[in-house]
Amino acid sequence: MKRLSRYRKHRFASPLALLFALFLIGTTFSVANASSPKASASLSRSAAVDEGRQIFLKGCSSCHGLNAEGGKIAPSLLGVGAASVDFQVGTGRMPMADMSVQAMRKKPLYNPDQVAALANYVASLAPGPGIPGDEIMVYERDGNTAQGGELFRTNCAMCHNFAGQGGALSQGKYAPTVMGADAKTIYEAMITGPQSMPVFSDRIITPAEKLSIIKWIKGAEVEPALGGAALGRVGPVTEGLLVWTFGLGLLIGIAVWLTTKVR
Amino acid sequence: MSTGEKALGSVANYVDERTGAAAWMKKNLNKVFPDHWSFMLGEVTLYSFIILLLSGTFLTFWFDPSQREVLYEGEYQPLNGLKMSAAYASTLHISFDIRGGLLMRQIHHWAALLFMAAMIAHLLRIFFTGAFRKPREFNWIIGVGLVTLGIVEGFLGYSLPDDLLSGTGIRIAEAILQAIPVVGTYLAFFAFGGAFPGEAFIPRIFTVHVLLLPGIFLALITVHLMLVWYQKHTQFPGPGRTEKNVVGYSLMPIYMAKAGGFFFIVFGVTAFLSTVASINPIWLYGPYTPGQISAGSQPDWYMGWLDGLVRMSPPIETHAFGHTISWNILIPGLIVPGILFTGMALYPFIESWLTGDKREHHLLDRPRNVPNRTALGAMSLTFIVVTVINGGNDIIATNFSLTINQIMWASRIGIFVLPPLAFVITKRLCLSLQRADRDLVLHGKESGTLLRLPHGEFVEVHQPLNAHETFALTQHEQKPALVLPTFDDHGVKRPRAMLNKWRTRMSSAVSEQIQKPTPDDMKEIEHH
Amino acid sequence: MSREVAPLSDPGLPDHVHRKADTDPIAEKKAERQVALFFAFSALGTILFIYSYLFIHHDLFIFIPILGSTNAHQLFLGLGLTCSLLFIGMGAVHWAKYLMPDNEVIAHRHEFRSPENERADFIATVKEGAAASGLGRRSIIKRSLALSMGLVGLSPLLLLRDLGPLPEKQLETTSWKTGTRLVTDPGNRPIKPADLEVGAVAQVLPELVEGQERILNNIGKDAVLLIRLRPEEFQLSPERLSWTHEGIIAFSKICSHMGCAVALYEQQTKHLLCPCHQSTFDVPRAAKVIFGPAARPLPQLAITLDSEGYLIAKQPFTEPVGPSFWERSS
């Protein structure tokens, strides 16, 4: 964004840049943390699979079945792939807190090592999409924001809203906001199609196009207030609410002041 | 005499020598306007209209009302290199390349929302105080016309930028046109210059939006205001205020300063809203294409009731003799709004027919003193509120942990159950308030002072109202219901007996009242 | 019920109470200074506006609590305008309230109805005028006038005829022909069944023929949604089942209700939801309407494979896509 890049030069920008840098360092560490067990896992893959199996039997098998074959209330996990496990468990959606219509994002129950072990275990049962590595998460370099926006509006906006704020589905289900979700999570969601979300195959939306979508989302996330408070970016409903409460409310208040007698 | 006063004096002299308008001008400068906050709602509407004219003119300097496809290479990077219509690209240009352009766009849009909100609030004030009664029925009809035009004008306005949200709105408008039996398809093809979306619609609605409708608006507003001027403003009842006078402040200088100042205040508040709150961020919506859609696609608030009605409509279509009638569009999109607006326009005549009241009224009603009308207003308002809520059901569902389906079913049932309920409750409430007024007049205000009687009982001392307060609570007239006997004095059955019977019954419902204190009651109190 | 009751006697307007500024010169001076202060604030607002317009670069962003990172140019321009307008108004109102005379004036009203003799004269004039024109007697003129007045409105209406072409068969046809390849939107890449996993969707359009351009009129009719289910999940008639391919089913994305893009696919429940009016379609049952105002299922596009293994349309849509219209036969 030309506008953004120019305002980076401004004096207010340096504290912001510092914050951003801190944020980057923070995420790098957490990404590094997440990826390090994978490196060690390759050393002793079978050990990790075993550890994952133990966690699975304790935490998941009551619903998903002893061999992840699925049950009455939960789907089979055969072939869902490591990416799916990383998405569901890594964002705290699984294990579910209760049997509500939809698993929501919450604080993860397992640490990154345990998530990786679980993912390894599930991936070992049947082949499925793998966790995207850092090497392909180069959306800042390879993505095209405008193209990403177009893809987002064609494939994502109908559920996640034009600005990625999320929206309602039928029967109380909802598409969550994509703001604040990290790039890997977004990527995993597209290739695995968690819960209500359909799968966006790599031949339909290519990996390069997926990176463009992520770049657009990340851009929308930090887009400054161009015209004032964003009002939730949900369209005209909040605008109408504001004009009746604040707008007309304030003017009626002033009209009362205007017509009261002074002493 | 100061130089300023001298200068104004010579201007007055100059004008009169050329027009001979001295007597007429003097009379009008001394015109009296009563003061009440609710009388300012119409002014808010008028001032937002002026703001709309000013800001709208500014926007036309750069807006390109064309659906020709262009490649965007502008300031807003997330859309750079995309194909879009010239209308959308020029709106981006106004927002990001013209200094103050985004501010003016937001002022225009906020002023439009405010225009409609103030108009509806003004309409409610007129309705609930009975200001539409003779001799002002004609102005009421003009008002209903202005509301209708306002909705259309607003819809056309937010359709102009050709963004994804407004394009969806146009798509729906086209479907409504297309649903009209027999001629619908032709109407749609004529309006759009062919199949949807075509390249003709936005240039066409631009002319309608900036020329035709504002012209009609100006004409109607002028007549509306001239009638207010000529018929003189209504006033709330009170001591010293009668059907034969107007009590208030003169135009020059008080109302010139107050109303003139209020224009700047309305403009200032609109500018403030436009500074701190974003509206219609078209750059986030993206350019329109029929293959895309956003979750939570909503119209602006004044169309929300229509959208809510369409959403709750049952899935009924009839196919017969090789033709299709879409009741699921016709009923909520055309028939129900048609009934609502016709009923609204005819209401003054219906009421005067039921009360048999053909006199002039310049004193306003306190809403509680006309329970039936107030209840009817509450009922209509409830109807609209239910539809508006359903119009935003997806946003409400996600924010209040409800489901779309629950809200939809609640409004499908609520639309039939809640308005009559609101009618009954409001009517009872009005009658209770009348009873409270009666008690207040007869027994006075609670003073908060407790008195212990000799035998130990505690009573609260009531303070009688003064003459002004008593008058304000008892000045209203309580007309008896119409009596239209089935047989006339000669024992001959009158024509249209059924109609008369029904009219009598309705009339007695309309005039249901709590008996206000009579002068005899008052005398009796004085003896105590 | 109620009976008419004589009103109580009107005690008349309450006595006028003087304001402090009317009697106390100090209060009057104070009010005067306040008004002047309001006007001065307005002038400062205009100066802020001019300064922001000329000197605050429109790419400058600053951090404001609640609003977040905000465009400073827009913000200060707006605040300047707000102050310059609001304070003029506040000053004027303050002036009127505190310093201009505040005793209420009484103006008299007269009934609009004219005195009886004038009314009679007026009505007589109208009648005379009507009689002089002979409208009542000359019925041939009356009728021919009614005829011409009735017809004169037709000319402007007729002039509107060229606003658009006749619909012909445009609403009933799309670009889908037998053998048209399905390509991704955006991207225009042809699709093989293996490209779609179970649970995957694809937004597709017909492949462009040489020299053809993608125009919105076509997208508005041609947009199709491709969904892959497990073949055993379908509950379709044998004919409709033959329109699917290896569990891949194609529906028009244009809502059968009001034409919004119905692309909101819930993978678990296999429902399609329209975000405009919440019509819900059940994909395994040929997009049967299970909720909301839509009355017809989404039209299904029959698909198959071409010799190269790409998905193609087996035949055009068998019914018009999009919202209903009068000429639609089913």
Q: Counting one residue from A and one from C, how many pairs have CB atoms under 8 Å apart?
A: 122
Query: Distance, in angstroms, between A151 CA and closest chain C CA?
Result: 7
Distance CA A117, CA A127 (A): 16
CA B428/CA B514 separation, integer angstroms: 11
In C, which residues are within 8 Å of A179 by CB distance? Answer: none
Cβ neighbours of residue A195 under 8 Å, at least 6 residues apart? A93, A102, A103, A173, C267, C268
Q: Which residues of chain C does B241 touch, with a Cβ-Cβ cutoff of 8 Å?
A: 13
Residues of C in contact with A226 (CB under 8 A): 71, 74
Exposed/middle/buried for B412, CB within 10 Å: 0-12, 13-18, 19+?
middle
Q: Tally the domains of chain B.
A: 1
B33-46: pLDDT as tens digits: 999 999 999 999 99
Beta bridge partners of C289: C281
How many CA atoms does the CB half-sphere of B261 hold within 13 Å?
A: 26
> Residue C249, SS3?
strand
Mean pLDDT for chain B overall: 92
- C156 touching B (Cβ < 8 Å): no
Strand stretches in B307-438, DSSP E: 317-320, 323-326
Decide if B245 is inside a domain.
yes
Q: Which residues of B touch A242 (CB under 8 A)?
A: 273, 277
Find chain C residues with C-beta within 8 A of A173's C-beta: 266, 269
**Which pLDDT belongs to residue B66?**
95
Q: Tell me the pLDDT of chain A averaged across its residues.
A: 82
Q: Do C92 and B275 touch (CB under 8 A)?
A: no
Say whether A227 and C74 touch across the interface (CB within 8 A): yes
- Average pLDDT of A102-124? 87
Query: Each residue's pLDDT tens digit in chain C (330 positions)?
Result: 344 556 678 888 888 888 888 889 999 999 999 999 999 999 999 999 999 999 999 889 999 888 888 999 999 999 999 999 999 999 999 999 999 988 888 999 988 888 999 999 999 999 998 888 887 788 888 899 999 999 998 999 999 999 999 998 889 999 999 999 999 988 889 999 999 988 999 999 999 988 888 889 999 999 999 999 999 999 999 999 999 999 999 999 999 999 999 989 999 899 999 999 999 999 999 999 999 999 999 999 999 999 999 999 999 999 999 999 999 887
Q: Say which of A168, A231, A242 has its CB closest to residue B398.
A: A168
Does C198 contact B at CB distance below 8 Å? Answer: no
Closest partner CB to A263 (pick from C20, C60, C78): C20
Contact present, B71 and B92 (Cβ < 8 Å): no
CA distance B62 to B57: 10
Say if residue A32's pLDDT is above 70.
no
Q: What is the model's pLDDT at position B451?
A: 85
In this model, does residue B426 exceed pLDDT 60?
A: yes
What pLDDT shows up at residue A21? 53
Q: Is the CB of C280 less than 8 angstroms away from the CB of A170?
A: yes
**Cα–Cα distance between B272 and C89 in angstroms, integer?**
14
Q: Who among B79, B294, B392 is closest to A161 (CB)?
A: B294
Which residue type is seen at B178?
Answer: Q
What pLDDT score was predicted for residue A126? 86
Predicted pLDDT of residue A35: 44
Q: Which residue of A has its CA nearest to C92?
A: A258
Closest C-alpha among A112, A90, A88, A104 to residue A174: A104
Quote the ipTM score: 0.93
Are B77 and A3 inside 8 Å of each other by CB? yes
Among C61, C67, C97, select the one facing A7 at the smallest CB separation: C61
Count CA atoms within 13 Å of residue B259 on its CB side: 20
Query: CB A229 to CB B397 under 8 A?
Result: no
Select the residue from A251, A252, A256, A260 to test the B interface by mutation, using most B Cβ atoms within 10 A.
A251
- Model confidence at B252, in pLDDT bands (50, 70, 90)? confident
First-to-last CA distance in chain A? Answer: 58
Taking CB atoms and an 8 Å limit, are C67 and A197 in contact across chains? Answer: no
Whether A191 and A200 have beta carbons less than 8 Å apart is answered as yes
Which parts of A29-115 are beta strand (E)? Answer: none
Task: Write down the pLDDT at residue A19.
Answer: 55
Structure tokens at A165: 């704020």
Q: Does C204 touch chain B (CB under 8 A)?
A: no
CA distance linking residue C293 with residue C305, whole number of Å: 35
Percent of chain A with pLDDT over 90: 34
The residue-averaged pLDDT of B232-251 equals 91
State the Cα–Cα distance between residues B277 and A228, nearest whole angstrom: 4
Nearest-by-Cβ selection for A254 from B79, B265, B275: B265
CB contact under 8 A, B179 and C323: yes
Verify whether the Cβ–Cβ distance B470 to C8 is below 8 Å. Answer: yes
Q: Which residues contact B377 (CB under 8 A, 6 or more apart)?
A: B124, B127, B128, B367, B426
Angle at CA of residue C33, ends C32 and C36, nearest 5°: 90
Domain for residue B500, yes or no? no
Q: Which of A16, A163, A148 is nearest to C61 (CA)?
A: A16
Domain, as residue range, for B102: 34-310
Put simply, the chain C residues between 43 and 82 with a CB less than 8 A from any chain B CB are 53, 58, 67, 73-75, 77-79, 81-82
Of C4, C161, C289, the CB nearest to B480: C4
Please tell me whether the peptide bond between A176 and the residue prior to it is cis, using omega within 30 degrees of 0.
no
Query: d(Cα B480, Cα A216) in Å, to the nearest integer?
Result: 70
Q: Does the structure show a pLDDT above 80 at B497?
A: no
From chain C, the residues in CB contact with B522 under 8 A are 8
Collect all residues of chain B within an 8 Å Cβ-Cβ radius of residue C263. Answer: 293
On chain B, the residues whose CB falls within 8 A of the CB of A225 are 278
Decide if B155 is inside a domain. yes
Domain membership flag for residue B333: no
Please indicate whether, in this complex, the C-beta atoms of B232 and C109 are within 8 angstroms of each other.
yes
Q: Which of C75, C102, C200 sits opposite A261 (nearest CB)?
A: C102
Q: CA nearest A170 in B: which residue?
A: B404
Q: Does any domain span residue B178?
A: yes
Across the interface, do B78 and A242 touch by the CB < 8 Å criterion?
Answer: no
Residue B391 DSSP class: H
Q: Which residue of A has its CA nearest to B275?
A: A228
Confidence of residue A20 (pLDDT cuts 50, 70, 90): low
Rounded CA-CA distance A218/A180 in Å is: 8
DSSP labels, B200-247: THHHHHHHIIIIIHHHHHHHHHHHHHHHHHHH---B--BTTB-TTEEE
Residue A80's nearest CA partner among A37, A111, A118 is: A118
To test the contact with chain C by mutation, choose from A84, A93, A262 the residue with the greatest count of C C-beta atoms within 10 A, namely A262
Tell me the torsion sign for CA atoms A207, A211, A213, A214: positive
Looking at per-residue pLDDT, the higher value among B60 and B489 belongs to B60
Residue B114 in any domain: the answer is yes
Q: Binning pLDDT at 50, 70 and 90, where does residue A44 land?
A: low
- Give the Cα separation of C76 and B350 in Å (integer): 53
Query: Residue C157, Cα to own-chain centre: how many angstroms?
Result: 26
Pick from A3, A157, A220: which is nearest to B292 by CB? Answer: A157
Q: What is residue A38's predicted lDDT score, i.e. its pLDDT?
A: 46
Q: Is B301 on the interface with A (CB under 8 A)?
A: yes
Instruction: Quote the distance between the C-alpha of residue C15 and its chain's center.
Output: 53
The model's pLDDT over A129-154, given as tens digits with 9 standing for 90+, comes to 888 888 778 888 889 999 999 999 99
Q: What is the pLDDT of residues B76-118, one digit of tens each?
A: 999 999 999 999 999 999 999 999 999 999 999 999 999 999 9
pLDDT at A17: 52
Q: Which one of C186, C194, C278 has the shortest CB-CB distance to A151?
A: C186
**B291:C221 CB<8 A:** no
A224, closest residue in chain C (CA to CA): C69
Assigned token pair, C304: 């198959």
Q: What is the mean pLDDT of residues B404-430?
A: 96
8 Å CB contact of B295 and A258: no
CA distances from B497 to A76, B356, B505 (A): 75, 17, 12
Nearest CB partner across the interface for A237, out of B35, B298, B404: B298
Task: Give, in order, the Cα–Cα distances in Å from B507 to each of B137, B355, B503, C134.
Answer: 20, 6, 6, 43
Within a domain: B443: no
Taking an 8 Å cut-off on Cβ atoms, the answer to whether B286 and A2 are in contact is no
Average pLDDT in the A241-254 region?
96
For residue B338, tell me if it sits in a domain: no
What is d(CA B100, CA B112) in angstroms, rounded to the nearest whole number? 18
**Which chain C residues are closer than 8 Å to A236 by Cβ?**
none
Which residues touch B415 (CB under 8 Å, ≥6 apart)?
B312, B383, B386, B387
CATH of residue B91's domain is 1.20.810.10
Cα A112 from chain centroid? 17
- Cis-peptide into A37, omega within 30 deg: no
Domains and CATH numbers, chain A: 18-131 (1.10.760.10), 138-229 (1.10.760.10)
User: Using the beta-carbon criterion (under 8 Å), do A162 and B285 form an inter-chain contact?
Assistant: yes
Phi-psi region of B380 (alpha: psi -120 to 50; beta: other; left: phi over 0): alpha
Please give the structure tokens belonging to residue C168.
Answer: 């012909």
Quote the CA–CA distance of C212 and C194 in Å, as a whole number: 28
* Poorest-pLDDT segment among B71-80, B122-131, B335-344, B452-461: B452-461
The CA distance from C44 to C86, in Å, is 12
Structural contact between residues B381 and B124, judged by C-beta atoms closer than 8 angstroms: yes
Does the CB of B410 have a partner CB in chain A at under 8 Å?
A: no
Would you say residue B391 has pLDDT above 80? yes
